[in-house]
A and B are shown apart, each in its own frame.
Chain A
């Protein structure tokens, strides 16, 4: 008996491998997203100051400064001359995502991901299928536009509208009317197009996608010979095009596209364990975790 709430794309895996194994990476991801946000909320809410600031820039235990490289890039485009802490902080974050996968930010940290995943789940459960075709490269155009706008106005332009920073800042220090923008993103993903925001429009994701092209940790379709063509991984994947070369190609079984979020949805949903998490240079053989 599989619960009604289980996503269709996980049902085969639940049947063949069990409920928990079919949600392993999903659970880890949610745990990561909630605890990162929770760490930042502990200070203002409970007075426990392990970390200060928010995702734009933070102070970790009074020792390390971290900063968002995309925000810094806009700041530079806007003509700012930043001081050392924010530059070093942004480089540290860049280094982190060069290891764990650029868009791991999207799948493992960003709170908007929870909003859009929920919209996607609801879409499936309510049978909404309207899918206004968007070009997934739109986000690169928007990324370029935010840098142009920053240069023209001498500000950090995307931060005036960015739902990503709006939501996490809102949860940490109050959101005002910002919830309307979050609602707009939710509705966009629910009724306009499948995974409209994160996989087509968000320039933050686009930025981390560029970083991710060079990242070390990769999903590997190591046992692709066992593939039964059930389609579960394509259904669950927020960026299905990244799977094709690894699963159906002749070359490396590693998923090499920068668009991959390392979310592990394919690993969770596969009924025959084709995928696992691996790393560049391991030829898709080794297992990381």
Chain B
């Protein structure tokens, strides 16, 4: 980097090192600020099965697209500039194409970096959790017996069930998600008959309430 012939005394050497280090830090901080503002938008991105928690995922995934190319259903794509998830990272939009929960999980098997757990069993996948976000539009809440979400669920009988309830003085059958079984594959969201899906897959931290701050009602 430095030319050998130049006369370098201690003072200029120190100044040069300090200046370079300063420039590196300044550049690093600016890029870090840009990256932080970019990955704020990630909250709603659904990752392929077996994905590490988002912070670990972002440092491990090299954006190679091997998972995208391994998916037989064209579920996954790499985020382009202007799309929500960090540019180049794989995600899926269940309303368009949900995850079909292949038994051999070819997407995770294809990952060279460990960003996706190669040994994941698809029933243990945690892409998110289905949440009935639009109960005002849900046909079951209107007293009808739609129940499409329950019938298309690949983990039928476990991940979503119909529970008896009452709404506006009427007996209804409430589609009820059981988060311990739901993998977030999004098949329910895909097939929901309302204009926008009334049931949607959200990343767990957005979709679940978590334990109460008071001990009452906390799982023991």
B-binding residues in A (CB < 8 A): 43-44, 49, 52-54, 56-59, 65, 67-68, 71-72, 75, 78-83, 85-86, 89, 137, 140-142, 144-161, 165-166, 169-170, 172-178, 180-181
In the bound complex, what is the Cα–Cα distance between A180 and B24 (angstroms)? 26
In the bound complex, what is the Cα–Cα distance between A145 and B27 (angstroms)? 5
In the bound complex, what is the Cα–Cα distance between A154 and B59 (angstroms)? 5
Contacts of A82 in B (CB 8 A): 60, 113-114
In the bound complex, what is the Cα–Cα distance between A217 and B36 (angstroms)? 41
Interface of A is mostly: helix
Contacts of B87 in A (CB 8 A): 159-160, 166, 176, 178
Contacts of A86 in B (CB 8 A): 62, 112-114
Contacts of B23 in A (CB 8 A): 141, 145
- The answer, yes or no, to whether B133 is at the interface (CB within 8 Å) is no
- The answer, yes or no, to whether B149 is at the interface (CB within 8 Å) is no
The one of B59, B69, B112 that contacts A65, using a Cβ cutoff of 8 Å: B112
The one of B27, B58, B62 that contacts A68, using a Cβ cutoff of 8 Å: B62
The one of B25, B60, B66, B69 that contacts A148, using a Cβ cutoff of 8 Å: B25
In the bound complex, what is the Cα–Cα distance between A146 and B24 (angstroms)? 8
Q: A141-B27, A176-B81 are in contact. Are A156 and B59 (CB under 8 A)?
A: yes
| Range, interface on chain B | 35 or more
Contacts of A141 in B (CB 8 A): 20, 23-24, 27
- Contact yes or no, A57 B64, CB < 8 A: yes
- Contact yes or no, B69 A160, CB < 8 A: no
- Contact yes or no, B82 A144, CB < 8 A: no
- Contact yes or no, A148 B80, CB < 8 A: no
- The answer, yes or no, to whether B39 is at the interface (CB within 8 Å) is yes
- Contact yes or no, A53 B59, CB < 8 A: no
- The answer, yes or no, to whether B65 is at the interface (CB within 8 Å) is yes
User: B64, B69, B78: which has the most chain A beta carbons within 10 Å?
Assistant: B64
A-binding residues in B (CB < 8 A): 1, 20, 23-32, 34-36, 38-39, 55-56, 58-66, 68-70, 77-83, 86-88, 110, 112-115, 118
- Contact yes or no, A157 B32, CB < 8 A: yes
Contacts of B60 in A (CB 8 A): 75, 80-82
In the bound complex, what is the Cα–Cα distance between A175 and B39 (angstroms)? 18
Q: A79-B59, A80-B60 are in contact. Are A146 and B28 (CB under 8 A)?
A: yes
Closest chain B CB from A60 CB (angstroms): 12
- Contact yes or no, A169 B58, CB < 8 A: no
User: Can you identify 25 A-B contacts, CB atoms within 8 angstroms?
Assistant: A53-B112, A54-B65, A58-B66, A67-B62, A80-B114, A81-B114, A83-B118, A85-B112, A144-B24, A145-B31, A147-B28, A148-B31, A149-B28, A151-B28, A156-B62, A156-B63, A161-B31, A165-B88, A169-B63, A173-B65, A173-B78, A176-B87, A177-B82, A178-B81, A178-B87
Since A152-B29, A156-B58, A166-B87 are in contact, a sample of 12 more A-B pairs with Cβ atoms closer than 8 Å, ordered by chain A residue number, is A52-B66, A56-B88, A57-B62, A59-B66, A82-B113, A83-B113, A146-B31, A148-B31, A155-B59, A161-B34, A172-B65, A173-B65
Q: A160-B34, A166-B81 are in contact. Are A137 and B1 (CB under 8 A)?
A: yes
Q: A149-B31, A152-B28, A178-B87 are in contact. Are A71 and B62 (CB under 8 A)?
A: yes
Q: A56-B64, A166-B81, A173-B77 are in contact. Are A159 and B88 (CB under 8 A)?
A: yes
